[in-house]
Amino acid sequence: MPREQHQNFDISIHYSGDIVTNDHKIGLRTYANTLHHLSAAVDRALLSHHRGRIHKNARITRDERAGLDFIVLDPEDNGIVLKFIANQNNPIARFVTEKIANYLEDANRQEPQATITPAQIRERIAQIQQEDEIRVEQMPDREDDFAKKAICREINSILGEIRHEHAGQSQIRIELKKANGETTRLEFNRFTAENFNRIVNGRSIIGPFLYQLRIKALDLMNQSKMHAKCIDVVTGKQRTLYFKDLADLQRMKEYLTTDDEISVNIYGFSITEFNVVDNIAGDIHFIAIQE
């Protein structure tokens, strides 16, 4: 029996080229990776619908997820086309798909910027540590939405399927229905997928800023990414605090405690990704303890 074609949809992902077999199939890992990261992108957009601006480590609850699901339709040929439609014509679905579409369109219009390397961050911190006084900047009052970064990174993981050499000459087309009925279409090949990856993963640092933190855990084993898990006293959210070397990390030992009355004020850089500043729960690079 031939597959049904041209089914109505809210989300469509179309694989074509070498990644698709001659009998219109894709591999298990490609299929699983697509479903996993698409589901995560939908959850981030739905979380944004319920809470407005979200932050790193925000997790959707069962109640927030209840009522909206996207039904997986039968795959279509012409390559392989995976389509999804909201259950019961749920009106929230178009908010979700439009938010994903808007973020992807915004990212696709950008050009990759030079990204800072870990070595450059360590060098910059070492320079500041030698200064007599650390000049603290005012935390930027920006309404960046972490959902933008989170959603684009999930879609970027799907595009990873055509960035690898084994994918050959492959393409992905993503289509999303907006609230007004229009369809956003984005086409990616290996070159444009690599470009999207550089845009979404572009890193920089801003600051220095002053933070008040409670140190909850130190990771002494990961030599390449030495860090501590902290609670930001001002926002009440968990942050990750990175260190340039073991000596800096060791300075936190005396503040490692379960006593919530004990905190430490530190100077640090805010780490931005995709030009998104997360003032609530974003990662920090340690510079010095405020004396």
H, E, C per residue of 225-266: CCEEEEEECCCCCEEEEECCCHHHHHCCHHHECCCCCCCEEE
pTM above 0.85, yes or no: yes
pLDDT for 57 equals 86
Domains of the chain: 11-112+145-200 (no CATH), 118-142+204-289 (2.40.50)
**CA 196 to centroid of chain Cα atoms:** 13
Q: What percent of the chain has pLDDT over 70?
A: 97
Task: Report the DSSP beta bridge partners of residue 185.
Answer: 175
pLDDT for 2 equals 44
φ/ψ (deg, to 5) at 56 = -60, 145
Running DSSP on this structure, what letter comes out for residue 221?
A: S
Taking alpha carbons only, the member of 160, 143, 231, 144 closest to residue 197 is: 160
Taking alpha carbons only, the member of 264, 247, 278 closest to residue 142 is: 278
For 104, the token pair is 């992807």
Are 96 and 46 in contact by the 8 Å Cβ rule? The answer is yes
Task: Give the separation between CA 112 and CA 200, rounded to whole angstroms.
Answer: 8
List, as one string, the DSSP characters of 62-76: HHHHTT--EEEPPPB
If phi > 0 it is left, if psi is from -120 to 50 it is alpha, else beta; for residue 7 that is beta
What SS3 class is residue 288?
Answer: strand
For 113, the token pair is 């910027």
Pairing of β 284-289 and β 238-242? parallel
What SS3 class is residue 90?
Answer: coil
pLDDT for 5 equals 58
pLDDT for 140 equals 79
* pLDDT tens digit at each of 291 positions of the chain: 345 556 789 999 999 999 998 878 899 999 999 999 999 999 999 999 998 888 888 899 999 988 899 999 988 877 789 999 998 778 899 999 999 999 999 999 998 888 999 999 999 999 999 998 999 998 877 656 789 999 999 999 999 999 988 888 999 999 999 988 899 999 999 999 999 999 999 999 999 999 999 999 999 888 788 999 999 999 999 999 999 999 999 999 999 988 889 999 999 999 998 888 888 999 999 999 998
